[in-house]
């Protein structure tokens, strides 16, 4: 995915879709056959019909329907109410039938939200079913992810190839594209991965942020190439989660006027009526947060109310809008509607029959009536026309604004600029490091003579260097910018009135920050969000970080103050188990660089891994530049930084990471003075080391050498894998302490002396 400038955009996007499928071990063979339409891309090979013409054509196609005046400015022609109701019931029964067949799932939300779902996908949203990755599509996020059958039904009706009838029939089955919660990496057309409550609305804030940012950077008075809405549906559960309050506060602060969130106000959660735990005045809270709030009192059949609310929401440009839609969970089920029993279980054959009776639905399971099918069929040509129109617009834009267009394409398709990695600061000997000619710097490295520095500072040098060459890099900190060292000096703050800037101020909202970054990353492949706090506070945002890993969002987590080395703030602020806890997490890179070269290496790895998030654990305290470290070494995850043995047979292998690599190196020096053959290995990323060949691993950690000692200022949990049964892991298996850092290191025995003693013990 690195430097794909020789590919066309369409190839790049297609490659992206396919490479994902090819590398995933679980997906069944059918999925690798997904054929995206040839991306008409920037070459304008598709009809260049103007928007007006397209619309007219489309209208003509549905002319047999009664066409009413659209309630919402940008609304598509709507069908007559009886057909709308039929479509809405189709959605309801597709959900009912799929859950029934799987005997597992959540029918209640789709049954209640089908009206707003229908209006969004059939009348409001602009998308291209045959290219789910079309850049300027409206984004939709089902924050209440358990209701995923709503979205699958809508994608199916809209003509997405990812949700065919057989996919609906294999809902929640092994290898299907219709898993139990929406997963962007399984189902093209699903933007983000939701289910864990509150994540989706946060992702939606990230998507809307990305739109506002890109629009401000790239739109021209004569050409708005970035112009889409972000819609979300959230339920009572999402509303209760703290993360949603965090991100909704930010959404208003940033003035994300094109974010429109539907709150499915159905008064039921798993434990029963929301009265038992949720009696706040949500409207008032959102007004306090700075949102525009609208209440649709009849979400079950009030189609015009819903339409009017969307129209009003779109008219409010400077605030996000919450449309509270009062619905009945499980609407239509005579015996289970409005109860928790319809939330998360199949209705059961008897109640399904009763519901068919009640809603007058004589059809077989999974049936889509012909007139409904016919009505929705217009979205395929309409979507193609939307994209074609946009492609034409972009082609014109590219002609006039070639520089901006190149940058934009880099963001849209993740074409990293050729040679970008040369920007990585591999020397701090010059004070004009950023001004150095890039070509000159490829061979420079930090030397042991370079000044000692905290890796958090070295991180800032990297971020600032990369921001110059990576147009999609943007991010910030959860109110610790000056501690995390994350400010991009050449940019201002992303704010309501300066959305073109790239320093994002998240406030003290770690969880929301992570999930917003997931939304940014998944908006466009070339957006590279980073976010920062103290490493220990990954605990606040772990749910979001896990979703980065699961949903293949290449967020860069800049986590400073990565050990007891932070000193006086004490145990509440000192990470202990955090390195281990992330090493155990799938599909994430846990990197703990030791100095300048390794920090640059960590950033190189992080930038290249666009489908795997990276966590950089960085020191508060100064660290020396070590002999033997290198970017190339970091790319291997574990590598030898010094060795005085021969024949791959050291007397002892010392291992360390980050700030303790220095200690391992010092201990080695002492042991060598005593005549020992000592190898020192940096284990900056266990995941990358795991991916190396057996031969390489043997060259670093020969099986025959069982005398091994590791040192890391964190839990020893997991180190047995590397030190083996006969080795010794030095670490901290208790909480930290409030005192100057040096004192804690000494009291906790994280010292060269301890390494030397252990080395003698094991060898």
CB of 419 to a copy of itself, least distance (A): 34
| Crossing angle between the packed helical segments 379-400 and 402-413, to the nearest 10 degrees | 140
CB of 280 to a copy of itself, least distance (A): 5
CB of 480 to a copy of itself, least distance (A): 6
Is 362 annotated as a binding-site member? no
Binding to a copy of itself by CB under 8 A, coded x per residue (else -) over 66-95, reads: ------------------------------
CB of 697 to a copy of itself, least distance (A): 14
Contact 190, 367 (CB under 8 A): no
Among 271, 497, 674, 761, binds a copy of itself (CB under 8 A): 271
Among 46, 724, 757, 760, binds a copy of itself (CB under 8 A): 724
By CB under 8 A, residue 568 contacts a copy of itself = yes
In this structure, what token pair is assigned to residue 350?
């008897």
Is 537 annotated as a binding-site member? yes
CB of 367 to a copy of itself, least distance (A): 24
CB of 84 to a copy of itself, least distance (A): 31
Angle at Cα 168 formed by Cα 163 and Cα 169, nearest 5°? 140
Q: How far is CA 103 from the centre of its chain?
A: 31
Q: Can you tell me the distance from the alpha carbon of 89 to that of 103, in angstroms, rounded to the nearest whole number?
A: 20
Residue 524 — left, alpha, or beta (φ > 0 → left; ψ -120 to 50 → alpha)?
beta
By CB under 8 A, residue 586 contacts a copy of itself = yes
By CB under 8 A, residue 246 contacts a copy of itself = yes
58 or 546, CB closer to a copy of itself? 546
CB of 50 to a copy of itself, least distance (A): 41
Residues 470-489 that bind a copy of itself (CB under 8 A): 477, 479-483
Contact 67, 55 (CB under 8 A): no
Q: Can you tell me the distance from the alpha carbon of 445 to that of 430, in angstroms, rounded to the nearest whole number?
A: 12
CB of 716 to a copy of itself, least distance (A): 9
| Crossing angle between the packed helical segments 596-608 and 455-469, to the nearest 10 degrees | 40
396 or 479, CB closer to a copy of itself? 479
* Residue in the structure block whose two tokens are 């009696």: 279
Q: Which residues contact 454 (CB under 8 A, 6 or more apart)?
A: 485, 618, 619, 620, 621, 622, 623
Among 54, 249, 459, 518, binds a copy of itself (CB under 8 A): 249
Q: How far is CA 221 from the centre of its chain?
A: 31
By CB under 8 A, residue 110 contacts a copy of itself = no
Is 237 annotated as a binding-site member? yes
Residue 265: which H helix or E strand, with range?
Answer: strand 259-265
Residues 680-709 that bind a copy of itself (CB under 8 A): 706
Judge whether 501 counts as a catalytic residue. Answer: no
Residues 520-549 that bind a copy of itself (CB under 8 A): 536-537, 539-540, 542-543, 546-547, 549
Residues 116-175 that bind a copy of itself (CB under 8 A): 145, 172-175
304 or 577, CB closer to a copy of itself? 577
Residue 195 — left, alpha, or beta (φ > 0 → left; ψ -120 to 50 → alpha)?
left
Is 620 annotated as a binding-site member? yes
Among 108, 117, 179, 525, binds a copy of itself (CB under 8 A): 179
Residues 727-746 that bind a copy of itself (CB under 8 A): 733-735, 737-740, 743-744
Is 222 annotated as a binding-site member? no
By CB under 8 A, residue 512 contacts a copy of itself = yes
Among 318, 584, 622, 691, binds a copy of itself (CB under 8 A): 584
Stretch that binds a copy of itself, among 6-14, 180-188, 399-407, 423-431 (CB under 8 A): 180-188
Q: Can you tell me the distance from the alpha carbon of 559 to that of 475, in angstroms, rounded to the nearest whole number?
A: 13
By CB under 8 A, residue 250 contacts a copy of itself = yes
Angle at Cα 229 formed by Cα 39 and Cα 540, nearest 5°? 100
By CB under 8 A, residue 491 contacts a copy of itself = no
Please give the backbone phi and psi of residue 67, each rounded to the nearest 5 degrees, phi first.
-100, 115
Per DSSP bridges, beta strands 473-477 and 528-534 are: parallel
| Crossing angle between the packed helical segments 510-523 and 242-253, to the nearest 10 degrees | 70
287 or 635, CB closer to a copy of itself? 287
Residue 18: which H helix or E strand, with range?
Answer: helix 9-23
By CB under 8 A, residue 253 contacts a copy of itself = yes
CB of 689 to a copy of itself, least distance (A): 14
288 or 448, CB closer to a copy of itself? 288
CB of 239 to a copy of itself, least distance (A): 8
Q: Name the active-site residue from 85, 241, 404, 510.
A: 510
Contact 167, 156 (CB under 8 A): yes
Q: Can you tell me the distance from the alpha carbon of 699 to that of 721, in angstroms, rounded to the nearest whole number?
A: 16
Q: Which residues contact 559 (CB under 8 A, 6 or more apart)?
A: 532, 533, 534, 535, 538, 615, 616, 617, 618
Residues 12-31 that bind a copy of itself (CB under 8 A): 25-26
| DSSP 8-state assignment for residue 415 | -
Please report the DSSP string for 494-550 in residue order: EBTTBTT--EEE--S-HHHHHHHHHHHHHH-TT-EEEEEEEGGGHHHHHHHHHHHHH
Please report the DSSP string for 137-201 in residue order: PPEEEESSGGGHHHHHHHHHHHT-TTS-HHHHHTTT-TT-SS-SS--TTTSTT--S---STTHHH
146 or 676, CB closer to a copy of itself? 146
Binding to a copy of itself by CB under 8 A, coded x per residue (else -) over 630-649, reads: --------------------
Per DSSP bridges, beta strands 614-617 and 139-142 are: unpaired
By CB under 8 A, residue 330 contacts a copy of itself = no
Q: Can you tell me the distance from the alpha carbon of 521 to that of 475, in angstroms, rounded to the nearest whole number?
A: 11
By CB under 8 A, residue 189 contacts a copy of itself = no
Residues 26-55 that bind a copy of itself (CB under 8 A): 26
189 or 237, CB closer to a copy of itself? 237
By CB under 8 A, residue 281 contacts a copy of itself = yes
The SS3 call for residue 341 is helix
Among 1, 214, 243, 711, binds a copy of itself (CB under 8 A): 243
Stretch that binds a copy of itself, among 222-230, 263-271, 629-637, 658-666 (CB under 8 A): 263-271
Is 307 annotated as a binding-site member? no
* Residue in the structure block whose two tokens are 């947060």: 289
Query: What's the residue count for the chain?
Result: 763
Is 569 annotated as a binding-site member? yes
CB of 604 to a copy of itself, least distance (A): 25
Is 213 annotated as a binding-site member? no
Is 196 annotated as a binding-site member? yes
Binding to a copy of itself by CB under 8 A, coded x per residue (else -) over 190-229, reads: ---xxxxxx-------------------------------
Is 462 annotated as a binding-site member? no
By CB under 8 A, residue 1 contacts a copy of itself = no
Please report the DSSP string for 195-244 in residue order: -STTHHHHHHHHHHHHHHHHHHHH-BTTB------EEEEE-HHHHHSHHH
In this structure, what token pair is assigned to residue 600?
């640059």
CB of 735 to a copy of itself, least distance (A): 5
Instruction: Burial-class residue 343 by CB neighbours within 10 Å (0-12, 13-18, 19+).
Output: buried
Stretch that binds a copy of itself, among 37-45, 566-574, 612-620, 630-638 (CB under 8 A): 566-574
Residues tagged in the binding site annotation for thiamine diphosphate: 146, 195-197, 237, 266, 343, 537
Active-site annotation, residues: 510
Residues tagged in the binding site annotation for Mg(2+): 236, 266, 268
Residues tagged in the binding site annotation: 106, 146, 195-197, 236-237, 266, 268, 343, 456, 483, 537, 561, 569, 573, 620
């Amino acid at each position: 995915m690195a430097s794909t400038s020789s590919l066309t955009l369409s190839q790049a996007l297609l490659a992206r879709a396919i490479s994902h499928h090819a590398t995933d071990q679980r997906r069944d063979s059918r999925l690798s056959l997904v054929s995206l339409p040839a991306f008409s891309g920037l070459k304008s090979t598709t009809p260049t019909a103007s928007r007006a013409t397209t619309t007219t054509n489309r209208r003509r196609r549905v002319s047999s329907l009664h066409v009413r005046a659209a309630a919402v400015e940008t609304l598509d022609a709507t069908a007559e109410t009886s057909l709308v109701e039929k479509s809405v019931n189709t959605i309801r029964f597709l959900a009912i039938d799929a859950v029934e067949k799987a005997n597992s799932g959540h029918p209640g939300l789709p049954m209640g939200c089908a009206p707003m779902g229908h209006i969004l996908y059939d009348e409001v949203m602009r998308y291209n079913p045959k290219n789910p990755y079309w850049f300027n599509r409206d984004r939709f996020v089902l924050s209440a992810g358990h209701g995923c059958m709503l979205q699958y039904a809508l994608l199916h009706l809209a003509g997405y190839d990812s949700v065919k009838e057989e996919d609906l029939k294999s809902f929640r089955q092994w290898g299907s594209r219709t898993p139990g919660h929406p997963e962007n990496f399984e189902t093209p057309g699903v933007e983000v991965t939701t289910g864990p409550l509150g994540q989706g609305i946060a992702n939606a804030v990230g998507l809307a942020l990305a739109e506002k940012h890109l629009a401000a950077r790239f739109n021209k008075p004569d050409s708005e190439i970035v112009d889409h809405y972000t819609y979300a549906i959230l339920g009572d559960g999402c509303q209760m989660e703290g993360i949603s309050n965090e991100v909704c506060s930010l959404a208003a602060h940033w003035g994300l006027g094109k974010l429109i969130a539907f709150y499915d106000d159905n008064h039921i959660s798993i434990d029963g009526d929301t009265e038992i735990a949720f009696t706040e005045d949500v409207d008032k809270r959102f007004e306090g947060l700075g949102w525009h709030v609208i209440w649709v009192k009849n979400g079950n059949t009030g189609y015009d109310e819903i339409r009017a609310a969307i129209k009003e929401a779109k008219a409010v440009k400077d605030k996000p809008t919450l449309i509270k839609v009062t619905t009945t969970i499980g609407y239509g089920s005579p015996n289970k509607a409005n109860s928790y029993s319809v939330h998360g279980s199949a209705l059961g054959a008897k109640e399904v029959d009763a519901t068919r009776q009640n809603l007058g639905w004589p059809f077989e399971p999974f049936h889509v009536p012909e007139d409904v099918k016919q009505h929705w069929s217009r979205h395929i040509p309409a979507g193609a026309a939307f994209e074609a129109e946009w492609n034409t617009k972009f082609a014109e834009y590219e002609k006039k604004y070639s520089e901006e267009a190149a940058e934009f394409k880099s963001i849209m398709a993740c074409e990293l600029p050729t040679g970008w990695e040369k920007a990585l600061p591999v020397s701090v000997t010059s004070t004009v490091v950023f001004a150095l000619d890039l070509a000159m710097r490829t061979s420079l490295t930090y030397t042991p003579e370079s000044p000692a520095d905290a890796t958090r500072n070295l991180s800032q040098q990297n971020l600032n260097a990369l921001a110059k060459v990576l147009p999609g890099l943007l991010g910030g900190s959860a109110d610790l910018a000056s501690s995390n060292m994350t400010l991009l000096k050449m940019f201002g703050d992303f704010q309501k009135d300066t959305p073109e800037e790239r320093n994002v101020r998240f406030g003290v909202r770690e969880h929301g920050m992570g999930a917003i970054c997931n939304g940014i990353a998944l908006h466009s492949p070339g957006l590279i969000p980073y976010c920062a706090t103290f490493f220990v506070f990954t605990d606040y945002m772990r749910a979001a970080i896990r979703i980065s890993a699961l949903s293949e969002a290449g967020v860069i987590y800049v986590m400073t103050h990565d050990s007891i080395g932070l000193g006086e703030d004490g145990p509440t602020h000192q990470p202990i188990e955090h390195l281990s806890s992330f090493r155990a997490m799938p599909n994430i890179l846990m990197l703990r660089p030791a100095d300048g070269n390794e920090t640059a290496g960590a950033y190189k790895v992080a930038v290249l891994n666009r489908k795997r998030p990276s966590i950089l654990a960085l020191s508060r305290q100064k660290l020396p530049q070590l002999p033997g470290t290198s970017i190339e070494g970091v790319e291997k995850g574990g590598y030898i930084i010094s060795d005085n043995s021969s024949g791959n047979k050291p007397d002892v292998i010392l291992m360390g990471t980050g700030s303790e690599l220095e200690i391992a190196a010092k201990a080695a020096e002492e042991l060598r003075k005593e005549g020992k053959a000592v190898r020192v290995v940096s284990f900056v990323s266990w995941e990358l080391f795991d991916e190396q060949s057996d031969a390489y691993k043997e060259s670093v950690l020969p099986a025959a050498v069982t005398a091994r000692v590791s040192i890391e200022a964190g839990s020893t949990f997991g180190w047995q894998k590397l030190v083996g049964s006969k080795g010794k892991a030095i670490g901290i298996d208790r909480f930290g302490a409030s005192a100057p850092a040096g004192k804690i290191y000494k009291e906790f025995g994280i010292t060269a002396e301890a390494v030397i003693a252990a080395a003698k013990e094991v060898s």
